[in-house]
Amino acid sequence: MDPDCLFCRIVAGEIPATVVHETDTTLAFRDISPKAPVHVLVIPKEHHPDLVAMARADPGASADVLAASAAVAEAEGLLGDGFRLMFNSGAYAGQEVFHVHAHVLGGAPLGPMVVLP
Ligand code: AMP
């Protein structure tokens, strides 16, 4: 755990979150500022700053995050109409929290994949 990491502190129970799914290695909770009717963040409980760091250090955690994301999408009723799974990584992607997280987005048509400013 990184004591300065917001999402590590959610895993530790020090900061509240609306948890929707949990496994031994992952936690999923609602985004505090949702960008779609369903917006859930899926994280590994272990701290990895971004997707590349997690994939290099712990491929099993990467698989667990994907499996948990699929379980969340199903539990949220998104399989019929579809959903988007998104990892922001680094500055150009606008990553704000440096504990890797998958965004599960759905519940309405999501528009184009990318809109440049
Ligand atoms: P990213 O830009 O990919 O790093 O996304 C970070 C996400 O974390 C944003 O969508 C924020 O709304 C979300 N977020 C920030 N703080 C919290 C929190 N305390 N609980 C839930 N989601 C949060």
Q: What is the mean pLDDT of residues 54-74?
A: 98
CA of 79 to the centre of ligand 1 (A): 23
Q: pLDDT tens, 41-54?
A: 999 999 999 999 99
Chain centroid, CA 83 distance in Å: 13
Average pLDDT of every residue of the chain: 97
Nearest to 42 by CA among 7, 14, 78: 7
pTM above 0.85, yes or no: yes
- For residue 28, give every residue at least 6 positions away whose Cβ sits within 8 Å of its Cβ, in sequence order, or none: 19, 20, 21, 22, 40, 41, 42, 43, 68, 69, 72, 104
Q: Assess whether 39 carries a catalytic annotation.
A: no
Ligand 1 centre distance from Cα of residue 32 (Å): 6
> Ligand 1 atom 5: the closest Cα is on which residue?
96
Q: What is the pLDDT of residue 17?
A: 98
Q: What per-residue confidence (pLDDT) applies to 1?
A: 84
In the chain, % of residues over pLDDT 90? 99
pLDDT at 60: 98
Q: What is the pLDDT of residue 62?
A: 98
Check residue 25 and give its pLDDT.
98
Interval between CA 27 and ligand 1 midpoint (Å):
14
What pLDDT was estimated at residue 61?
A: 98
Ligand 1 atom at minimum distance from 96 CA? 4
Pocket probe for ligand 1: among 27, 54, 96, the residue whose CB has the most ligand atoms within 8 Å is: 96
Q: Residues 60-70: what's their mean pLDDT?
A: 98
Report the C-alpha gap between 43 and 9 in whole angstroms.
12
